[in-house]
Amino acid sequence: MLSLQESEDLSWDAPGCFQVAPDVYRIPLPLPHDGLRAVNVYAIVDGDRLVLIDSGQQLVVARSALELALRSLNASLGDISTFFVTHIHRDHYTQAVAVRREFGNRIYLGDGERESMNHASHPTGNPLHDQLVELERCGANALVANIKPSSDTEDIAGSLYEEPDGWLREETIELANRQLRVIATPGHTRGHVIFYDDSNRLLFAGDHVLPHITPSIGFEPLVYPDPLGNYLRSLRRVRHLPDAYLLPAHGMPGPGFYRRVDELLAHHDERLGATEAAVNGGASSPYEVASVLRWTRRRRHLVELDPFNQMLAVMETKYHLELLAIQGRLLQSLVAGTYQFKVAGQTPQRT
């Protein structure tokens, strides 16, 4: 086990068990087929048991890494009493299910994920059906043809999902030596929650606030209205909490989350402006606008991304366009089965 000071010389995704606060340990678990590289699981020593914030993905390599990390705490998988999971994505939820099948640990998930869980756990359902229908309405028919089931698109595959033991509302969880406030932060997913330890000034942020990347918006089994607006409102709400040590799901922890929340708000404000400018320049459908915009810190063109990340990019563009329409900056219509956006006084082009 390494202390926080010792861990600063390592890449954030290096395997191990790193103390980030008294009785709180960060355990990076590998995501070998994912550009994120790893997910941080946080182990809280709770008397003679352990509580985990998130669980990692149901992978042999992730399980082995978790077992090894727990061994440094003189613990094992059977010592985990409870998994509190920030959201439904596979890299946060599915290993909890696998461990529960063996040891009977309990799992809790945000109440806002109920509908997504019902859809994702259905044995005959297509977990990407709604996303693909929306992609076609975004004018991305060619892209839909290129998206095949893979380790990425199985993010919400039914065989990996079972219902939790309980659903978390906004409440306070009483542990042996601390309290965790559950705060709903919809946007990344509809039911995303964070856990705030007020006494120790710790923010277990899941994918809501990440130190180096902007979380994807609205990738989940069901498409629902205005996830970007929900995300921005959630960010502003969290900004009113007392500043705290940020414990993200991806990336290195660090002091103070206010600065990063402000950066994320500024990023989306800039992105809204660029999206509006693309429509003013003649782009109309979400796919056309996404093709004008640049992606990642390397400012790549849409076609330079793999199909899965193209899907995320087009859907996120759709959500920026819809928020601009909600704000009255653009007008939205459905023309020949395709979403069209225009500035006031323009007539949408038929496809």
Query: Which of 63-67, 160-164, 234-238, 280-284 is least confident?
Result: 160-164
CB burial readout 82-107, b (16+ within 10 A) else e: bbbbbbbbbbbbbbbbbbbeeeebeb
Rounded Cα distance between 36 and 129, Å, is 24
Rounded Cα distance between 204 and 163, Å, is 22
Mean pLDDT, all residues of the chain: 91
Decide if 58 contacts 98 (C-beta within 8 A).
yes
Q: What is the per-residue pLDDT across 206-263, written as a single tens digit (0 to 9) for each? A: 999 999 999 999 988 889 999 999 999 999 999 999 999 999 999 999 999 999 999 9
Mean pLDDT in residue range 115-140: 84
**What is the model's pLDDT at position 120?**
84
Residue 179 has pLDDT above 70, yes or no: yes
Q: Which two tokens stand for residue 201?
A: 């000034």
3-class SS of residue 39: strand
**What is the model's pLDDT at position 131?**
87
Residue 83 has pLDDT above 90, yes or no: yes
Give the confidence band of 316 by pLDDT, cuts at 50, 70, 90. Answer: very high
Torsion of CA 47, 53, 57, 58, to 10 degrees: 40
Residue 152 has pLDDT above 50, yes or no: no
3-class SS of residue 342: strand
Rounded Cα distance between 225 and 268, Å, is 17
**What is the model's pLDDT at position 149?**
52
**What is the model's pLDDT at position 7?**
47
Q: Which domains does the chain have, with CATH numbers?
A: 4-121+161-256 (3.60.15.10), 126-157+277-351 (no CATH)
CB burial readout 222-234, b (16+ within 10 A) else e: bbeebbbbbbbeb
Residue 156 has pLDDT above 90, yes or no: no
Residue 100 has pLDDT above 60, yes or no: yes
Which residue, chain included where needed, has tokens 């810190």?
A: 297
- The total number of residues shown for the chain amounts to 351
Mean pLDDT in residue range 320-346: 92
Q: What is the per-residue pLDDT across 108-118, written as a single tens digit (0 to 9) for each? A: 999 999 999 99
Angstrom CA distances, 49 to 17, 70, 75, stand at 17, 11, 8
Q: Calculate the CA 300 to chain-centre distance.
A: 22
